[in-house]
């Protein structure tokens, strides 16, 4: 079974992120779920992004790094949207990563190093017409990652919603989220 460090999206540590962690736990995985917002949860994506800007994206990434301190090597680093930044940074820079799950986000590999570590398998998930994922460069970064990394998969889902996998948010898409969960569980079963 895998040990996962899961980072929340810009809305904060919502009931939907907690439910996803519980689904992974129910499948036998250990899940660590840090709160990078110190208990704050936002009703809108704009509110969450404004908070992230106020705190500072660098500070949030450092909080992600701190959340990994004291945890063993061999983690699967996972993040939703904004949380992808911490997950991807750790997957590329922390020795011993077992895998990465980048949900609704992907940064250019050059953001955290010269290349994706060849020994770290990765899945990227996003909606093909999401104005954030597809429209702000994440999809291009994901395609480049898949072309350059030996064990990388990109899964695109029909639709234009951003945080589609969180059942506590308005953009939730039950069908796409179920398929994402199935693919994530298969990934965790093989790493």
Question: Considering only CA atoms, which of 118, 101, 122 is closest in space to residue 29?
Answer: 101
Name which of 97, 106, 101 is nearest 78 in CA terms. Answer: 101
State the pLDDT at residue 98: 98
pLDDT in tens, 130-147: 999 999 999 999 999 999
What pLDDT shows up at residue 36?
Answer: 97
Could you tell me if 88 and 67 are in contact, meaning their C-beta atoms sit under 8 angstroms apart? no
Mean pLDDT for all residues in the chain: 97
Alpha helices per DSSP H over the chain: 15-26, 45-55, 57-68, 84-93, 138-148, 174-190
Domain 3-190 sits in CATH at 3.40.50.1820
Report the predicted TM-score, pTM, of the whole model to 2 decimal places. Answer: 0.97
Query: What is the model's pLDDT at position 76?
Result: 98
Domain ranges of the chain: 3-190
Q: What is the pLDDT of residue 105?
A: 97
Q: Which residues of the chain have pLDDT under 50?
A: none
Q: Which of 1, 14, 61 is nearest to 171 (CA)?
A: 14
């Amino acid at each position: 079974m895998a040990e996962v460090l899961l980072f929340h999206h810009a809305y904060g540590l919502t009931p939907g992120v907690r439910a996803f962690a519980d689904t992974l736990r129910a499948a036998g995985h250990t899940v660590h779920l840090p709160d990078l917002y110190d208990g704050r949860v936002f009703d809108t994506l704009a509110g969450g992004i404004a908070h992230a800007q106020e705190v500072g994206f660098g500070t949030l990434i450092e909080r992600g790094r701190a959340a990994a301190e004291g945890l063993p090597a061999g983690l699967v680093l996972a993040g939703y949207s904004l949380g992808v930044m911490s997950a991807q940074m750790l997957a590329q820079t922390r020795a011993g990563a077992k895998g990465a799950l980048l949900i609704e986000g992907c940064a250019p590999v050059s953001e955290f190093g010269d290349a994706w570590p060849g020994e770290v398998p990765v899945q990227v998930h996003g909606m093909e017409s999401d104005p954030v994922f597809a429209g702000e460069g994440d999809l291009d970064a994901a395609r480049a990652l898949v072309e350059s990394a030996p064990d990388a998969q990109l899964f695109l889902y029909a639709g234009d919603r951003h945080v589609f996998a969180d059942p506590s948010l308005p953009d939730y898409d039950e069908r796409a989220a179920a398929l994402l969960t199935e693919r994530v569980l298969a990934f965790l079963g093989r790493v």
